[in-house]
Amino acid sequence: MDIGKKIRSLRIQRGLTQEELGDRCELSKGFISQLERNLSSPSIATLTDLLECLGSSLQELFNEQPPEKTVFAPQDMFVKEDEEELRGSITWLVPDAQKNAMEPILVEMAEGGRSYSMPPNEGEEFGYVLGGSIFLVIGGRKIRVRSGCSFCIHPREEHYLMNAGKTKAKVLWVSTPPLF
């Protein structure tokens, strides 16, 4: 753990110079500089005082979270095959997306395939047709969405996607909150 780097980051976040932080903690600017460059180690009491002046604590300083993953490869994704209703697959593009505010999936449907019916909800859904052509069925209405087109809905009625053509349809579908 790089304590100096964390102290420097907290100081900069608070908009303080080394001298201002030193004044608040009754430490010299030189000592703060040495701490930030890991040339000196503070006692626990000094570190506690320093962190208090920075609006932090020992617990927060040492609570290291692993970096959040932002790029996902195909081996990270989960694929569910469905040859009966969907006649294709659903790929969850972000692992554990159910814990996020949005959930992106890739839906692939062969001719005659359709997605599962989604209940009315207070969220939003977005879709982009990457290939083929689909019907977005909302309540009793069928809306054709062709390749290269998108849809954005606030689903107040049951809805689903249906392949509208004779070729495979491929749709990027994002819901918030997660529904799939």
Res. 159: pLDDT tops 80 = yes
Rounded Cα distance, 76 and 140, in Å: 37
Please identify, among 16, 38, 62, the residue that sits at the C-terminal boundary of a domain.
62
To the question of pTM greater than 0.85 for the whole model, the response is: no
Rounded Cα distance, 20 and 10, in Å: 13
Sign, CA torsion 5/7/10/11: negative
Are 57 and 100 within one domain?
A: no
Are 132 and 81 within one domain?
A: yes
Q: How far is CA 42 from the centre of its chain?
A: 37
pLDDT at 108 (0 to 100): 97
pLDDT digits (tens, 9 = 90+) for 99-145: 888 999 999 999 999 999 999 988 999 999 999 999 999 998 999 99
Sign, CA torsion 48/49/51/56: positive
Please identify, among 39, 62, 85, the residue that sits at the C-terminal boundary of a domain.
62
Rounded Cα distance, 175 and 178, in Å: 5
Are 39 and 82 within one domain?
A: no
